Structure formats: structure tokens, C-alpha cells
Amino acid sequence: MNKYLQQLVELSKFDKEIDDFTPRIENVQKTYRVTKEECDAISANIEQLDNEVSDIKVQKSQTNAHIAEFAAKIKDVAKKSGLAKSEKEVKALNLEEEIAKEQLEAANEEIARLEKIIDSKNASKEELVAKKSELEAKLTQIEAEISSELEAIEKERAEVYAQKTKLVGEMNQKILTFYEKIRKWAHNSAVVPVRKQACYGCFMQINDKTFAAVVRAEDIVTCPHCGRILYKENI
Ligand SMILES: [Zn+2]
């Protein structure tokens, strides 16, 4: 095989290997990312619950203030009742007392209702906090695992890079430019094998004359249909 063609076949192999590292790295990082996102979502939920509970606590303290008012009112009415002179006055005070007692009862019921909501929200929060600490432990574990995995991948990648750099240093500049131009659109299929007399980039049949040139492998031959660089394997 022509030396330049051989170099191109090798170079395209290195380039493909280098590109293949990206999905491998992403795959390793994915587990971490998914768990992290789950953890962040739980943190947001916890914060939301905290905000809701503090809102309800404000409502509760407002209701408590009303309770104090109603209680004072009842006390006041009782005091006035003792001093009432006419029956009409007593009746009016009784009515006032009744209303205040009803309001007091309603406010107490409201407090009970709010406390129930707070309890239920706190219970939900506790569950989330437990789940979050579980996920955090998992994250620490994943982090340790992926860091060694990534290190191994990085080492492999550095080796391929070194091989590529060495090869590129030995290559003809014009051939390199030609290859890079094709690679711009063909990406990792800039240099493709011919199988069953078809280009393995565009899968079109190539004519006998081109095929013969590919088999001879004396020159760099491109596919007449797509322009990719062609080579015959195992020759
Ligand atoms: Zn082609």
C-alpha cells in the first residue's frame, strides 16, 4: 500500500478512537449527573416545604393573636355583665359573649387544623431528608468510582493522542490538509474501506476502473460519488 494511504488509514483510526472517548466519558459521568439531579430536586422540595411551614406558622401566630383578643373580650364582657343594670343590657352582653365564644372556638379549630398541616409537612420533610442523605452517600461513592474510571480513560486517550501526534509529525502537509478537508464533512468516515466493490462511506457501487486503482493502492483514490478516501483492507 502507498505509504501516504497507509498513514491516512492509521490517522483516521486514531481520530475515530479519540472521538469515541467522548461518549465513554459522558456515559461514566451520566450516573453521577442523574443522581445529582435527583438530589437537587429533593433539596428544592425540602426548601419548598420549609417555606410552606413557615407561612403556616405565621398564620398560626395570627390566629393565636385573635384567640387572645377573643379571650380578653369574653373576660371584658363578663366584667361588664356583673355591672349591668337593665335586662336589655344583660341580653346585649350575653349576645356579645356568645359571639366571642364562637369566634374563639373557630380560632381554636383553625389552630388544630394548621398544626395538623404542619405535622404532615414535617413528616414529608423528614422522609425527604432521609432520602437526600441516602443519595448524598451514593454520590460520594459514585464520585470515587468515576474518578478512577475517568483517570483510566484519560490515560488511554493520552496514549492515542501521543500516537496521533507522532504520526501527524511524519505526514505530508498537503495530504493532511486534503484529509482534514474531507473530515470536515465526513467526520470519522473520511477514510473508508471498499467492500464488495462499494464505498463504505456512501455505500454506492464504484466502477471497475476506480476499484482497480483502489486494489493497486499506488495512489490515493477517492470515491467518485462522495469523495471519501478509499482503501482495500488486508492488502
Ligand atoms: Zn462514497
Centre of ligand 1 to C-alpha 56, Å, is 70
User: In 121-132, which positions are buried (b, 16+ CB within 10 angstroms) versus exposed (e)?
Assistant: beeebeebeeeb
The Å distance, Cα 176 to ligand 1 centre, comes to 19
Among 70, 67, 63, 138, which Cα is nearest to 99's?
70
What spacing in Å lies between the alpha carbon of 172 and ligand 1's midpoint? 24
Which tens digits make up the pLDDT trace of 160-187?
Answer: 999 999 999 999 999 999 999 999 999 9
Asked if 63 and 107 count as a contact pair (C-beta separation under 8 A), the reply is yes
Please give the pLDDT value at position 235: 54
User: How, if at all, do strands 198-199 and 191-195 pair?
Assistant: antiparallel
Q: Is the CB of residue 215 less than 8 Å from the CB of residue 201?
A: no
Using CA atoms, how far residue 107 sits from 208, 209, 231, in Å, is 96, 97, 88
Cell numbers linked to 170: 511524519
Task: Please report the domains of the chain, with CATH numbers, ordered by start residue.
Answer: 19-169 (1.10.287.1490), 172-235 (no CATH)
The CA 17 to ligand 1 mean position distance, Å, reads 22
Pairing state between β 221-222 and 229-231: antiparallel
Q: Report CA(186)–ligand 1 centroid distance (Å).
A: 10
Distance 141 CA to ligand 1 centre (A): 48
Taking the centre of ligand 1 as the mean of its atom positions, its distance from the CA of residue 218, in whole angstroms, is 19
Nearest alpha-carbon partner for 228 in 197, 196, 185, 170:
185
**What's the pLDDT tens digit per position in 122-169?**
999 999 999 999 999 999 999 999 999 999 999 999 999 999 999 999
What spacing in Å lies between the alpha carbon of 2 and ligand 1's midpoint?
Answer: 20
Ligand 1 centroid to Cα of residue 137, in Å, is 52
* β partners of residue 191: 229
